Structure 1
Amino acid sequence: MAKQFPEISPALQEFILRQRVFFTASAATTGRVNVSPRGTDMLRVLGPNAVVYLDLTGSGNETAAHLRATGRLTVMFCAFEGAPMILRLYGAGRVLRRGGPDYARLLATEYGGTEPLGARQMVLLDIDLVQTSCGFGVPLFDHAGERPTLARWAEAKEKQEGLEAYRRQKNTRSIDGLPTGLFEEDPVPVG
């Protein structure tokens, strides 16, 4: 039932644009595997072999640490309404640091130059394989709306100690102790 493709077709791009949530999966060579849900409002399809999402501050930064370690990233979409389907995008991911030239360019071209409060970094996926599967076992869900909680938290955090202080405390190492490279003073691994 699974079908593989070298790129995102126009029909698959339409499927992506209809979804409200996606999941990222990443891992280093050892340690824990990370799977995280994300809202599609921050995701952009850049072309048939690339997607990017604007990553908001959270309680951890596992994906960034794993991308520094191995570069492997999978993005998965599930149809929770309508015809069943699961879509996976496999490839090499990299983090675009907030304030860097690629981040600034994509912020301008893909996000209208508007950076939401709590923006931490962008994650770019260069896709080498696209796979669909049936999704027959995925339950149907009705979308009730977006949660305002993260935006309210970021606003309150900025008024208190500041988001950068929080990120320095909570987002510079993975739960397995791997560096995330969130700040410029963090060395970038070679090779």
Structure 2
Amino acid sequence: MKHIVWHDHHISKEDRAEQKKQKPCLIWFTGLSGSGKSTVANALEQQLYIDSHHTYLLDGDNIRHGLSKDLGFSDEDRVENIRRIGEASKLFVDAGLIVMTAFISPFKSDRDIARSLVEESEFIEIHMNTPLEVCEQRDPKGLYKKARAGIIPHFTGIDSEYEAPENPELTLNTAVYSTDECVIKIIDFLTRHHYIF
């Protein structure tokens, strides 16, 4: 790395944000499979788009088709997957966007690394705190059934640990709140903290 030098741009993150009339941030959805991460993130992006905000959504399954297609689901591969997502998200934030990520991201240390890649005020951790039994009952992709049958090893919540956030900016439970109610709560947070105007 000693021959690699960071190249500064003439247009800054602040310039890009001012043009878009928003404060760039990284909204990091974390929670068990089936907790509502992707559903709420998609609905949030749709509402922000309707409201003329500039966004980008990084979803776990989609990333596994490209950026992280070489990774499996061991603890080491999960760590590397989240590292890559954090670095990609940092670039999108630098572009002045409101970035959303929907990943289980089970380990606190990995989420802390993602948080450290952007300014402290730019990281918004949303814990989708839907109970395991509800997530397993939903099982939209049949993953819990396969994990219980031993077909999928290292499955978070079954035989791999999920470390819940200690102090997330928001906690949402889709067993209690509808998707629309979750979006309203997030939009309210973004408005109150001046990410959107």
Query: How high is the TM-score relative to the length of structure 1?
Result: 0.26
Higher relative contact order (CA 8 A, sep 6+): 2
Higher helix share: 2
